[in-house]
Structure 1
Amino acid sequence: MSVPQGRRSSLFTRLLRHGFTDPSAAERLLAGEAMDAVRTDPVMLDALGQAADPDLALLGLVRLVEAQPEDTARRELLDTLIAAKPLRDRLLGVLGSSEALADHLARHPGDWQALVTYEPQDLHPGVEEFERGLAEARDPVALRVAYRRCLLSIAARDVCGTTQVDQTAAELADLATATLRAALAMACQAAPEDDRLCRLAVVAMGKCGGHELNYVSDVDVIFVGEPREGADEGKAVQAATRLASHLMRICSETTVEGSIWPVDANLRPEGRNGPLVRTLSSHLAYYQRWAKTWEFQALLKARPVAGDAELGAEYVETLAPLVWGAAERENFVPDVQKMRRRVVDNIPAAELDRELKLGPGGLRDVEFAVQLLQLVHGRSDRSLRSGTTLDALRALAAGGYVGRVDATQLDDAYRFLRTLEHRIQLYKLRRTHLLPEDDADLRRIGRSLGLRREPITELNRAWRRHNSVVRRLHEKLFYQPLLDAVAQLAPTEARLSAEAARERLVALGYADPASALRHLEALASGVSRKAAIQRTLLPVLLGWFADSADPDAGLLGFRKVSDALGQTPWYLRLLRDEGTVAENLARVLSAGRLAPDLLMRAPEAVNLLGTEALDPREHGALEQEVLAAVSRAANGEQAVAAARAVRRRELFRTTAADIVASYRTEESPAELDPGALMDRTGGAVSDITAATLAGTLRAVVREGWGDTLPTRFAVIGMGRFGGHELGYGSDADVLFVHEPREGVDDHEAAQAANQVVAEMRRLLQLPSSDPPLLIDADLRPEGRSGPLVRTLASYAAYYRRWSLVWEAQALLRAEPVAGDPELAAGFVELIDPLRYPVEGLGDDAVREIRRLKARMESERMPRGSDPTLHTKLGRGGLSDVEWTVQLLQLQHAWEEPGLRTTRTREALAAAHAAGLLATEEAQILDEAWVLAARVRNAVMLVRGRAGDTFPSDSRELAAVGRYFGYGPGHVGDLLEDYRRITRRARAVVEERFYGA
Structure 2
Amino acid sequence: MNLPQLPVLPDLLLPLARRGTEILSRARDASPDCEALLPATWPQARQQALARVCACSDFVVVQLDRCPWILAELLERKILERSLAPGEIAADLQARLQGCDDEAELMRILRDFRNLHQVRIVWRDLNRQADLIETCRDLSALADSCIDQACQWLYPRLCTLYGTPLGQDGQPQRMVILGMGKLGAFELNLSSDVDLIFAFPQRGETVGASRTLDNQTFFIRLGQRLIKVLDAVTIDGFVFRVDMRLRPYGASGALAFSFAALDEYYREHGRDWERYALIKARVVSGDQQASDALLQMLQPFVYRRYLDFSAIESLREMKRLIQFEVQRKGLAENIKLGGGGIREVEFIAQVFQLIHGGYDPALQQRALLDVLTTLRQHGYLRRSVVAELADGYRFLRYVEHALQAIADRQTHTLPHGEADRARVACMLGCADWTAFCEQLAFWRERIDKHFQRLITKPAVGWSEPGVAEWRALWCENWTETAVLPRLQQAGFRDAESAWQRLCTLRDSAQVRGMQVLGRERLDIFMPCMLLAIAEQSEPDQVLVRVLPLVEGIARRSRYIVLLLENRAALRRLLSLCGASAWIAEQITRFPVLLDELLDAKRLYNPPAAAELAYELNGLLLRLPEDDLEQQMETLRRFKQAHRLRVAVSEIVGTLPLMKVSDYLTWLAEAILEQVLALAWRQLVARYGQPRCSDGSPCDPGFLVLGYGKVGGIELGHESDLDLVFIHNGEPGSETDGIKLIDSAQFFIRLGQRMIHLLSTQTASGRLYEVDMRLRPSGAAGLLVSSMTAYEHYQSRDAWTWEHQALVRARPLSGCPRLAREFLRVRGAVLGRARDLQTLRVDVSEMRARMRANLGTRSTAAGTAGKAFSAQERFDLKHDAGGIVDIEFMVQYAVLAWSHRYPELLRHTDNIRILDGLAQTGLLSGTEVRLLQEAYKAYRIAAHRLSLQKQSGVVSGDRFHDERQAVMRIWRELGLF
Tell me the distance in 2 between the aligned counterparts of 1:536 and 1:743.
Answer: 68
2:476 aligned with 1:485: no
Q: Identify if the C-alpha distance between structure 1 residues 686 and 631 changes in structure 2 by more than 3 Å, giving closer, same or farther.
A: closer
2:781 aligned with 1:786: yes
Letter in 1 for 2:533: L
**How does 1:39-188 map onto structure 2 within 5 Å?**
140=79, 143-144=82-83, 179=85, 181-185=87-91, 187=92
Instruction: Answer yes or no: is the 8 Å Cα contact 2:525–2:564 preserved in 1.
Output: yes
| CA apart distance, 1:800 | 3.2
Instruction: Answer yes or no: is the 8 Å Cα contact 1:876–1:989 preserved in 2.
Output: no
Which residue of the other structure, out of 946, 955, 962, is the alignment partner of 1:975?
955
Which residue of the other structure, out of 609, 613, 619, is the alignment partner of 1:619?
609
Letter in 2 for 1:697: A
Identical positions, percent: 15
Q: TM-score, normalised by structure 1?
A: 0.56
Corresponding residue number in structure 2 for 1:844: 838
Letter in 1 for 2:473: A
| CA apart distance, 1:763 | 4.0
Letter in 1 for 2:842: E
Letter in 2 for 1:424: G
| CA apart distance, 1:753 | 0.9
| CA apart distance, 1:716 | 0.9
Corresponding residue number in structure 2 for 1:552: 544
Unaligned runs of 5+ in 1: 1-51, 58-137, 148-178, 189-193, 200-225, 286-295, 307-311, 330-366, 450-455, 663-667, 951-973
Corresponding residue number in structure 2 for 1:112: none
Letter in 2 for 1:874: D
Which residue of the other structure, out of 313, 331, 336, is the alignment partner of 1:406?
313
| CA apart distance, 1:925 | 3.0
2:825 aligned with 1:830: yes
Letter in 1 for 2:595: A
Per-residue displacement from partner, 1:171-223 (whole Å, max 9, x unpaired)? xxxxxxxx5513444x48xxxxx72x736xxxxxxxxxxxxxxxxxxxxxxxx
Instruction: Answer yes or no: is the 8 Å Cα contact 1:525–1:531 preserved in 2.
Output: no
Letter in 2 for 1:595: Q
| CA apart distance, 1:994 | 4.1
Letter in 1 for 2:499: P
Tell me the distance in 1 between the aligned counterparts of 2:940 and 2:630.
Answer: 29
Corresponding residue number in structure 2 for 1:599: 590
Q: Which stretch of the first structure deviates more once superposed, 534-543 or 724-733? A: 534-543
Q: Secondary structure at the match of 2:556?
A: helix
Q: Identify if the C-alpha distance between structure 1 residues 631 and 858 changes in structure 2 by more than 3 Å, giving closer, same or farther.
A: same
Q: TM-score, normalised by structure 2?
A: 0.57
| CA apart distance, 1:850 | 2.2
Instruction: Answer yes or no: is the 8 Å Cα contact 2:904–2:913 preserved in 1.
Output: yes
Corresponding residue number in structure 1 for 2:347: 415
| CA apart distance, 1:639 | 2.4
Tell me the distance in 1 between the aligned counterparts of 2:730 and 2:81.
Answer: 107
Tell me the distance in 2 between the aligned counterparts of 1:563 and 1:460.
Answer: 46
**How does 1:455-494 map onto structure 2 within 5 Å?**
461-462=449-450, 481-488=469-476
**Count of aligned residue pairs for this structure pair:** 685
Corresponding residue number in structure 2 for 1:38: none
Q: Secondary structure at the match of 2:717?
A: coil
Q: Secondary structure at the match of 1:834?
A: helix
Q: Secondary structure at the match of 1:727?
A: coil
Q: Secondary structure at the match of 1:430?
A: helix
Tell me the distance in 1 between the aligned counterparts of 2:904 and 2:742.
Answer: 41
Tell me the distance in 2 between the aligned counterparts of 1:482 and 1:297.
Answer: 31
Instruction: Answer yes or no: is the 8 Å Cα contact 2:705–2:813 preserved in 1.
Output: yes
Letter in 2 for 1:853: R
Corresponding residue number in structure 2 for 1:100: none
Tell me the distance in 2 between the aligned counterparts of 1:236 and 1:842.
Answer: 70
Tell me the distance in 1 between the aligned counterparts of 2:857 and 2:480.
Answer: 56
Q: Secondary structure at the match of 2:891?
A: helix
Q: Identify if the C-alpha distance between structure 1 residues 859 and 573 changes in structure 2 by more than 3 Å, giving closer, same or farther.
A: closer
Q: Secondary structure at the match of 1:869?
A: strand
The root-mean-square deviation of aligned C-alpha atoms, in Å, is 5.9
Tell me the distance in 1 between the aligned counterparts of 2:920 and 2:797.
Answer: 32
Q: Identify if the C-alpha distance between structure 1 residues 848 and 504 changes in structure 2 by more than 3 Å, giving closer, same or farther.
A: same
Tell me the distance in 2 between the aligned counterparts of 1:505 and 1:547.
Answer: 8
Q: Secondary structure at the match of 1:818?
A: strand
Unaligned runs of 5+ in 2: 5-76, 160-176, 188-193, 202-214, 225-242, 282-298, 320-343, 350-367, 369-385, 401-411, 415-427, 692-696, 736-740, 862-872
Corresponding residue number in structure 2 for 1:33: none
| CA apart distance, 1:803 | 3.6
Corresponding residue number in structure 2 for 1:198: 97
Which residue of the other structure, out of 847, 854, 859, is the alignment partner of 1:853?
847
Q: Which stretch of the first structure deviates more once superposed, 929-938 or 525-534? A: 525-534
Which residue of the other structure, out of 712, 726, 747, is the alignment partner of 1:723?
712
Corresponding residue number in structure 2 for 1:872: 877
Tell me the distance in 2 between the aligned counterparts of 1:142 and 1:369.
Answer: 37
Which residue of the other structure, out of 563, 573, 596, is the alignment partner of 2:565?
573
Tell me the distance in 2 between the aligned counterparts of 1:517 and 1:742.
Answer: 68
| CA apart distance, 1:808 | 2.4
| CA apart distance, 1:318 | 8.2
Per-residue displacement from partner, 1:761-807 (whole Å, max 9, x unpaired)? 34444343514623222212222222222222222333333343333
Instruction: Answer yes or no: is the 8 Å Cα contact 1:718–1:813 preserved in 2.
Output: yes
Tell me the distance in 2 between the aligned counterparts of 1:834 and 1:696.
Answer: 33
Letter in 1 for 2:530: L
Per-residue displacement from partner, 1:54-87 (whole Å, max 9, x unpaired)? xx99xxxxxxxxxxxxxxxxxxxxxxxxxxxxxx
Q: Identify if the C-alpha distance between structure 1 residues 904 and 594 changes in structure 2 by more than 3 Å, giving closer, same or farther.
A: farther
Letter in 1 for 2:890: V
Q: Identify if the C-alpha distance between structure 1 residues 483 and 904 changes in structure 2 by more than 3 Å, giving closer, same or farther.
A: farther
Tell me the distance in 2 between the aligned counterparts of 1:234 and 1:849.
Answer: 59
Instruction: Answer yes or no: is the 8 Å Cα contact 1:416–1:466 preserved in 2.
Output: yes
Q: Identify if the C-alpha distance between structure 1 residues 772 and 504 changes in structure 2 by more than 3 Å, giving closer, same or farther.
A: farther
Instruction: Answer yes or no: is the 8 Å Cα contact 2:179–2:197 preserved in 1.
Output: no
Per-residue displacement from partner, 1:372-419 (whole Å, max 9, x unpaired)? 9755679875435779465689959989xx975532435886434877
Tell me the distance in 1 between the aligned counterparts of 2:518 and 2:280.
Answer: 33
Instruction: Answer yes or no: is the 8 Å Cα contact 1:553–1:590 preserved in 2.
Output: yes
**How does 1:74-473 map onto structure 2 within 5 Å?**
140=79, 143-144=82-83, 179=85, 181-185=87-91, 187=92, 195=95, 198=97, 227=100, 251-254=121-124, 258-259=129-130, 260-261=134-135, 279-280=153-154, 316-317=198-199, 375=251, 382-383=265-266, 388=277, 390=279, 404-409=311-316, 414-416=346-348, 422-424=390-392, 426=394, 430-432=398-400, 461-462=449-450
| CA apart distance, 1:977 | 5.7
| Larger helix share, 1 or 2 | 1
Corresponding residue number in structure 2 for 1:734: 723
Q: Secondary structure at the match of 2:536?
A: helix
Letter in 2 for 1:618: A
Per-residue displacement from partner, 1:262-295 (whole Å, max 9, x unpaired)? 86699999x9xxx99995379999xxxxxxxxxx
Q: Which stretch of the first structure deviates more once superposed, 933-942 or 723-732? A: 933-942
Which residue of the other structure, out of 513, 533, 537, is the alignment partner of 2:499?
513
Q: Identify if the C-alpha distance between structure 1 residues 551 and 396 changes in structure 2 by more than 3 Å, giving closer, same or farther.
A: farther
Instruction: Answer yes or no: is the 8 Å Cα contact 1:585–1:606 preserved in 2.
Output: no
Instruction: Answer yes or no: is the 8 Å Cα contact 2:620–2:631 preserved in 1.
Output: yes
Corresponding residue number in structure 2 for 1:758: 752
Tell me the distance in 2 between the aligned counterparts of 1:245 and 1:985.
Answer: 45
| CA apart distance, 1:470 | 12
Corresponding residue number in structure 2 for 1:897: 903
Tell me the distance in 1 between the aligned counterparts of 2:685 and 2:963.
Answer: 53
Per-residue displacement from partner, 1:307-349 (whole Å, max 9, x unpaired)? xxxxx999955899799999xx9xxxxxxxxxxxxxxxxxxxx
Tell me the distance in 1 between the aligned counterparts of 2:601 and 2:218.
Answer: 42
Corresponding residue number in structure 1 for 2:971: 991
Q: Identify if the C-alpha distance between structure 1 residues 525 and 644 changes in structure 2 by more than 3 Å, giving closer, same or farther.
A: closer
Tell me the distance in 2 between the aligned counterparts of 1:708 and 1:908.
Answer: 42
Q: Secondary structure at the match of 1:729?
A: coil
Corresponding residue number in structure 1 for 2:887: 882
Q: Secondary structure at the match of 1:686?
A: helix
Tell me the distance in 1 between the aligned counterparts of 2:300 and 2:933.
Answer: 52
Tell me the distance in 2 between the aligned counterparts of 1:615 and 1:313.
Answer: 45
| CA apart distance, 1:554 | 1.9
Letter in 2 for 1:817: L
Tell me the distance in 2 between the aligned counterparts of 1:540 and 1:548.
Answer: 12
Q: Secondary structure at the match of 1:617?
A: coil
